[in-house]
């Protein structure tokens, strides 16, 4: 579901922020949406809905289509 995936991506970002140095802590780079979907047991559309929901929590994202890397950062 979107809330579950949104929480998952938020936790990933927070974990990276806590363990990364100042140069890399400002963004989270993830595999392509097409690769994440089967790994997370969901669809590419569900992941896109989740990423859009992150905007309401103070994050933004950039994805180069379904086959490009996904970058998430706080706004």
Mean predicted lDDT score pLDDT of the chain: 79
pTM (whole model) above 0.85: no
Residues 28-60: tens digit of each pLDDT: 888 888 888 888 888 888 888 888 888 888 888
| Site of tokens 């922020």 | 17
What percentage of the chain exceeds 70 in pLDDT? 81
| Count of domains forming the chain | 1
At residue 22, does pLDDT exceed 50?
no
Range of the domain at 61: 2-74
- CATH at residue 68: 1.10.10
pLDDT of residue 18: 59
Inform me whether the pLDDT recorded for 71 exceeds 60: yes
Q: If DSSP states are collapsed to H, E and C, what string results for the chain? A: CHHHHHHHHHHHHHHHHHHCCCCCCCCEEECCHHHHHHHHCCCHHHHHHHHHHHHHHCEEEEECHHHCCEEEEEC
């Amino acid at each position: 579901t979107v809330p579950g995936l949104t929480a998952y991506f938020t936790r990933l970002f927070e974990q990276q922020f806590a363990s990364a140095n100042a140069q890399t802590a400002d963004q989270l780079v993830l595999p392509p949406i097409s690769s994440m979907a089967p790994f997370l047991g969901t669809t590419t559309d569900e992941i896109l809905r989740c990423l859009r929901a992150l905007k309401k929590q103070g994050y933004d994202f950039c994805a180069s289509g379904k086959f490009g890397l996904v970058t998430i950062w706080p706004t």
